[in-house]
Amino acid sequence: MRKQERAKIILHRLEKLYPITPIPLNHNSKFELLVAVVLSAQSTDKKVNEVTSNLFNAASSPKDMVKLGINKIYLYINKLGLANNKAKNIYNLSKIIIEEFNNEIPNTFESLESLPGVGHKTASVVMAQGFKVPAFPVDTHIHRLSQRWKLTSGKNVIQTEKDLKKLFPKSKWNKLHLQIIFYGREHCTARGCDGTVCIICRELFPTRKKGIVCIKP
């Protein structure tokens, strides 16, 4: 089976499984989305939603976040990994948004990636989910499944993103990246499937005998 054929099957199966793709991180504005995505690094969405519930009640805008200050931001998020750095980044990016972007969330990859704590993946999530601009954020779930499904030979998320963008229609990127994440969490987990167990793996590679050793991003 050719790579393009596998891509079509994956699109079809994921659309049936996940016709609706709610954004996993709770937010009521682009600013809250940006903060939540920054907080999600090395943390689960569930844990992020727990801390942002109180954080956003206290500060839901850049101005409020700056008024809150680094120490108080830390108190709200200290259950998360890397809380010290995240508190500083949230304070500093809030200050920059006020001073350099007229209190508006920047709407380009370049501008977003200039903010503290915002890398390409974070910027891609905000562009896709906040501004509805086609993007394909690649996290560990997507990287792992892309290897298992032989959609990429990329040793890092940058190459995986490039390969996936070539394979799938641009109009599908924003929804598809969430569908793959949901599937990776529910069916094709790091320990629960080695490329031979889950429904899609078995359909794509019915004769596969050995599991796939995925290269970590």
- Sequence spans of domains, the chain: 3-21+136-204, 30-130
Domain 3-21+136-204 and domain 30-130 have a common topology? no
From the candidate CATH numbers 1.10.340.30, 1.10.150.20, 3.40.50.2300, 1.10.3720.10, the one assigned to the domain spanning 30-130: 1.10.340.30
d(CA 198, CA 16): 15
Percent of the chain residues past pLDDT 90, beyond the cut: 91
d(CA 169, CA 148): 20
pLDDT digits (tens, 9 = 90+) for 76-135: 999 999 999 999 999 999 999 999 999 999 999 999 999 999 999 999 999 999 999 999
pLDDT digits (tens, 9 = 90+) for 34-62: 999 999 998 999 999 999 999 999 999 99
Reply yes or no on whether 121 is catalytic.
Answer: yes
30, 95, 139, 162: the active-site residue = 139
Reply yes or no on whether 163 is catalytic.
Answer: no
pLDDT of residue 66: 98
pLDDT of residue 140: 87
Listed residue (138, 140, 136) closest to 189, CA to CA: 140
Domain 3-21+136-204 adopts which CATH fold?
Answer: Endonuclease Iii, domain 2 (1.10.1670)
Instruction: Indicate if the pLDDT at residue 214 is higher than 90.
Output: no
